[in-house]
Chain A
Amino acid sequence: MLRMSARTDCSRNEAVIIRTSAILLALSAVAVFIMLLGHNPLSVYLSMIEGAFGSGYRITETIRKAIPLIVASLGISLAFRLKFWNIGAEGQIMMGAFGATFFALNFQNLPSVILLPLMGLASIICGGIWGAIPAYFRAKFRTNETIFTLMMNYIALKWLTYLQYGPWKDPGALGFPKIPGFTENAVLPAFFGLHIGWIIAVLLIVIMHIFVNHTKRGYEINVVGESENTGRYAGMNVKFIIIYTIFLSGGLCGLAGMIEASGVNKTLSVEITRGVGYTAIITSWLSSLRAPVIAIVCILFAAMIQGGTFIQMAFQIPQSAAQILQGMILFFVLGSEFFIKYKISIINDNKAEANQ
């Protein structure tokens, strides 16, 4: 008979070994799937790496994909620290992009040193408000934030759809429903071959790490996240902490939206997020909410997406195969948490005696 027992002695090394083997298991499970498609899994995996890191251009592309993921994951990790299950990053990204676009379209004559910060600020406020609304209701009336933030995603999506097909439709696009492109001064400048979003991401990682671990505000978030009662007991204003933390969380997601709109797409469209808001939930969870780890995990995820695009061309494998790989990795890693918390032992059982 198998028996499980709780373990408290799992060292960090053991945990790393367990998680790594989970990823290896996920890779081998997907290998079976790739073989069924009639390809050699090893060469597919190798060319995924090749596709993600094989040349300067590919590396840039991978990092380009990682930037919004990192910024949004940082935002989500802040909410998760508070045990506020914010799955509304998708909508917060869209609203952030909307706020930035509003300024990009209406203040085209401003110099970019003023316009870009304005757009950034607008995106943080819009995304932040989009997060703070469910946070307010959660703090005041204990509503379920998971459902609430999810529903807010659909409102944001439909709002963008309305704008794209209605008031913001580009008159010069011959009836094609698209929002006009940004003027040059509303586009993030490049630095070392990539828009400066990457510098923002690096700065945010450092700031987040310091904020969470070494500031009073960060400390409060950790306390309230562990137990609201303890927070109240220590004299903290728990409701206020919840609302402003989720405002920051949504604000960061909004900023990710601005970076995407301004740095990559140079316009706004309903496809602005490309699922980043949902992928970021996975990445921040896998990084156990730690900012430096988020950077690594996000780059690996971006590499997987980039590599997935590449194998699509090289092997005619649908890109969904890469998504299956993502799903598998998540499944195995979350499953491996069980082995970190519990020990399985086999015991000899002669149960028959009991029923004599």
Chain B
Amino acid sequence: MVNISKSFGEIKANDNITFSVNYGEIYALLGENGAGKSTLVNMLSGVYTPDSGEIYVHDKKLRFSSPGDSIGSGIGMIHQHFKLIEIMTAAENIIIGQKRSFIIHRKKLKKTINSISEKYGFKTDPDKYIYDMSVGEKQSVEILKVLYRGADILILDEPTAVLTPQETEKLFTILKKMKEQGCAVIIITHKLHEVMEISDRVTVLRRGEVAGTVNTSETNPKELTAMMVGKAVDLSIDRPAILKDEVMLEVKDLSLIDRDGIKKLNRVSFNVKAGEILGIAGVAGSGQKELCESIQGLERRKRGEILFRGEDIARLTPRAIFERGLRISFIPEDRLGMGLVPTMNIVDNVIMKDYYLQKSLFLDREPARERAEHIVKMLNVHTPGIYHPVNQLSGGNIQKVLLGREIDANPDFLVTAYPTRGLDIGSSHLIYDELNRQKMKGVGVIYVGEDLNVLLSLCDRIMVLFEGRVIGTVDASTATKEDIGFMMLGGKEC
């Protein structure tokens, strides 16, 4: 790609980017969120058209105007969110969109798929239905799909975001095989250790520009981070010791059956001490969301006890909990769909939880205005003003507004679900620091996370959920990623 530029409105997503990938090499594109990685590969895969610049494949200048053009020239894109049809088998998914013939030669198809699988080391059964597959298997089908179409340039967008460590290991083995077979592999990621582990060369993007291209063997994580952020950053996360030995929240035999009759939580029991951060790990959809909402009082269809300083709050609504003087702050996973009102300004969002305490019929926004200003200053929120709608802020700043409101309420207990999802390194660390500050104040914290490295270094203990059950709780200072990954799959061999 030579001198590629692309703008969205006023924003330059990519500015004069040039890079090249050789066959037989694994190439990493590294950058923070919003650095322009996805835009770049979307142009390569024909989803977007560049404003200027040229793309050469096999020394031939090409201009893609649709994903079809891109596939035709041997580029295969594996998206972060799979595009598979659940009720079809792997083989059926693989041939979707192929125009070659009207009749499907199942036998021949299976043979072709099996030979590709063998070549690269996949263990995929072509007749297995997608809905029966684990996330890792689904990803294999996605890769097989592009290989079947004859792709020899593979682009993987954040391929490990949804995988357990074991599955990641397998994926990397496959990628290395592909490299040996002469494919060009491009992986997009913001995880440094993966770049170090698997790539041959890496290009770092920063704010839509190339910050540098280096050979992986000649660099180290520190240097890469500095390139990503533009300055040296301390990557370590503190873990202050727990001050008191006082159990703040105790959950006993919590079960929950959802509207469709599916058991989301199954006799979950645990406790959190004052001044402790309890991490919750698990594959997406293992009951984390339901657990958080149960504690906060949002989920009503539950059984069991939730004792907060000895008082059972399991049957109370959020407001009833609040009225008893128990301050449970909650940072939900869905920031704009639950935590905030996207079209409202910061002031109106800040007032959301306690406006009803005002005596008058009318709404006095003055105290909220002061608090909004305080939050903007305290967390360094980048906004044109406190009367700016929150959905026009960037992801990190949106999260800061939400975190600011929840912390400013002086909580006794803080439930956070993926608080740093989508945030860049700088903002993430700001949030870890803030959580630690709350911890030092004696606040009990539940931290639902997906990055095991962060969970291991931030939390005191980590509880692993699988299909709504507690598989086990480990001490974060002694556990390893592999232990947790193993438990995330229910303790079964994957």
- Does chain A bind chain B? yes
Which one, A119-127, A128-136, A229-237, A271-279, is touching chain B?
A: A229-237
Partner of B338, one of A227, A235, A236: A227
Q: Which residues of B contact A354 (CB under 8 A)?
A: 62-65, 69
- Tell me if A216 counts as interface (CB < 8 A to partner B): yes
- Asked if residues A230 and B361 are in contact (CB atoms below 8 Å), the reply is no
- Asked if residues B341 and A226 are in contact (CB atoms below 8 Å), the reply is yes
Q: Which residues of A contact B351 (CB under 8 A)?
A: 219
A337 CA to B143 CA in the complex, in Å?
A: 41
Partner of B9, one of A7, A226, A232, A353: A7
- Asked if residues B338 and A343 are in contact (CB atoms below 8 Å), the reply is no
- Asked if residues B338 and A230 are in contact (CB atoms below 8 Å), the reply is yes
Q: Which residues of B contact A6 (CB under 8 A)?
A: 8-9
Q: Tell me the smallest distance from the CB of A323 to a CB of chain B, in Å.
A: 34
A8 CA to B332 CA in the complex, in Å?
A: 26
- Asked if residues B362 and A216 are in contact (CB atoms below 8 Å), the reply is yes
A347 CA to B51 CA in the complex, in Å?
A: 8
Q: Which residues of B contact A223 (CB under 8 A)?
A: 341, 344, 352
- Tell me if B334 counts as interface (CB < 8 A to partner A): yes
- Tell me if A214 counts as interface (CB < 8 A to partner B): yes
A241 CA to B337 CA in the complex, in Å?
A: 18
- Tell me if A5 counts as interface (CB < 8 A to partner B): yes
Partner of A214, one of B64, B296, B337, B363: B363
A74 CA to B340 CA in the complex, in Å?
A: 27
Enumerate B320-355 residues with CB–CB distance to A below 8 Å: 322, 330, 332, 334, 336-344, 348, 351-353, 355
Q: Which residues of A contact B355 (CB under 8 A)?
A: 216, 219
Q: Tell me the smallest distance from the CB of B342 to a CB of chain A, in Å.
A: 7
- Asked if residues B65 and A8 are in contact (CB atoms below 8 Å), the reply is no
A355 CA to B61 CA in the complex, in Å?
A: 11
Enumerate B72-88 residues with CB–CB distance to A below 8 Å: none
Partner of B363, one of A218, A233, A343, A349: A218
- Tell me if B49 counts as interface (CB < 8 A to partner A): yes
- Asked if residues A216 and B356 are in contact (CB atoms below 8 Å), the reply is yes
- Tell me if A11 counts as interface (CB < 8 A to partner B): no
A206 CA to B351 CA in the complex, in Å?
A: 24
Q: Tell me the smallest distance from the CB of A352 to a CB of chain B, in Å.
A: 8
- Asked if residues A216 and B341 are in contact (CB atoms below 8 Å), the reply is no
Given A7-B9, A8-B9, A233:B62 Cβ within 8 A: no
Partner of A215, one of B69, B343, B344, B363: B363
- Tell me if B477 counts as interface (CB < 8 A to partner A): no
- Asked if residues A233 and B318 are in contact (CB atoms below 8 Å), the reply is yes
- Asked if residues B363 and A229 are in contact (CB atoms below 8 Å), the reply is no
- Tell me if B317 counts as interface (CB < 8 A to partner A): yes
A82 CA to B158 CA in the complex, in Å?
A: 38
Q: Tell me the smallest distance from the CB of A220 to a CB of chain B, in Å.
A: 8
Q: Which residues of A contact B65 (CB under 8 A)?
A: 349, 351, 354
- Tell me if B392 counts as interface (CB < 8 A to partner A): yes
Q: Which residues of B contact A55 (CB under 8 A)?
A: none
Partner of B63, one of A214, A216, A232, A351: A351
Q: Which residues of A contact B9 (CB under 8 A)?
A: 5-9, 343
A5 CA to B392 CA in the complex, in Å?
A: 16
Q: Which residues of A contact B63 (CB under 8 A)?
A: 350-351, 353-354
- Tell me if B298 counts as interface (CB < 8 A to partner A): yes
Partner of A222, one of B61, B341, B361: B341
Partner of B362, one of A8, A215, A232, A347: A215
A343 CA to B8 CA in the complex, in Å?
A: 10
- Asked if residues A215 and B318 are in contact (CB atoms below 8 Å), the reply is no
- Tell me if B478 counts as interface (CB < 8 A to partner A): no
- Tell me if B358 counts as interface (CB < 8 A to partner A): yes
A226 CA to B339 CA in the complex, in Å?
A: 12
- Asked if residues A219 and B348 are in contact (CB atoms below 8 Å), the reply is yes
- Asked if residues A215 and B361 are in contact (CB atoms below 8 Å), the reply is yes
Given A227-B341, A235-B317, A353:B61 Cβ within 8 A: yes
Q: Which residues of A contact B10 (CB under 8 A)?
A: 9
A8 CA to B391 CA in the complex, in Å?
A: 11
- Tell me if B110 counts as interface (CB < 8 A to partner A): no
Q: Which residues of B contact A343 (CB under 8 A)?
A: 9
Q: Tell me the smallest distance from the CB of B414 to a CB of chain A, in Å.
A: 15
Query: Hey, what's the 0/1 contact readout for A334-356 against B, CB within 8 Å counting as 1?
Result: 00000000010001011101111
Given A8-B9, A347-B49, A229:B356 Cβ within 8 A: no
Q: Which of A9, A216, A234 has the most CB of B within 10 A?
A: A234
A3 CA to B7 CA in the complex, in Å?
A: 13
What is the chain B residue whose CB lies nearest that of A210? B362
- Tell me if B319 counts as interface (CB < 8 A to partner A): yes
Q: Which residues of A contact B62 (CB under 8 A)?
A: 353-354
Q: Which residues of B contact A210 (CB under 8 A)?
A: 362
Q: Which of A216, A230, A349 has the most CB of B within 10 A?
A: A230
- Asked if residues A216 and B353 are in contact (CB atoms below 8 Å), the reply is no
A218 CA to B361 CA in the complex, in Å?
A: 10
Enumerate B6-22 residues with CB–CB distance to A below 8 Å: 8-10
What is the chain A residue whose CB lies nearest that of B340? A230
A349 CA to B361 CA in the complex, in Å?
A: 59
A149 CA to B405 CA in the complex, in Å?
A: 39
- Asked if residues A355 and B69 are in contact (CB atoms below 8 Å), the reply is yes
Q: Tell me the smallest distance from the CB of B179 to a CB of chain A, in Å.
A: 28
Q: Which residues of B contact A233 (CB under 8 A)?
A: 296, 298, 318, 330, 332, 338-339
- Asked if residues A227 and B337 are in contact (CB atoms below 8 Å), the reply is yes
Q: Tell me the smallest distance from the CB of B448 to a CB of chain A, in Å.
A: 16
A235 CA to B322 CA in the complex, in Å?
A: 9
- Asked if residues A8 and B341 are in contact (CB atoms below 8 Å), the reply is no
Q: Tell me the smallest distance from the CB of A318 to a CB of chain B, in Å.
A: 43
Enumerate A204-225 residues with CB–CB distance to B below 8 Å: 210, 214-219, 222-223
Q: Which residues of A contact B336 (CB under 8 A)?
A: 227
Partner of B341, one of A3, A230, A350, A355: A230
- Asked if residues B338 and A229 are in contact (CB atoms below 8 Å), the reply is yes
Q: Which of A3, A223, A354 has the most CB of B within 10 A?
A: A354
A26 CA to B379 CA in the complex, in Å?
A: 50
Task: Give me 5 other A-B pairs in contact (C-beta within 8 A), A233-B338, A354-B65 excluded.
Answer: A210-B362, A214-B362, A226-B344, A233-B332, A235-B317
Which of A's residues lie within 8 Å of B, judged by CB?
Answer: 3, 5-9, 210, 214-219, 222-223, 226-227, 229-230, 232-236, 343, 347, 349-351, 353-356
A–B pairs, 13, beta carbons within 8 Å? A3-B49, A218-B363, A227-B342, A232-B298, A232-B338, A233-B330, A235-B318, A235-B356, A236-B356, A343-B9, A350-B63, A353-B62, A354-B62
Which of B's residues lie within 8 Å of A, judged by CB?
Answer: 8-10, 49, 51, 60-65, 69, 296, 298, 317-319, 322, 330, 332, 334, 336-344, 348, 351-353, 355-356, 358, 361-363, 392
| Shortest beta-carbon contacts, A-B, top 10 | A235-B319, A235-B318, A229-B338, A226-B341, A354-B69, A234-B352, A354-B63, A353-B63, A351-B65, A233-B338
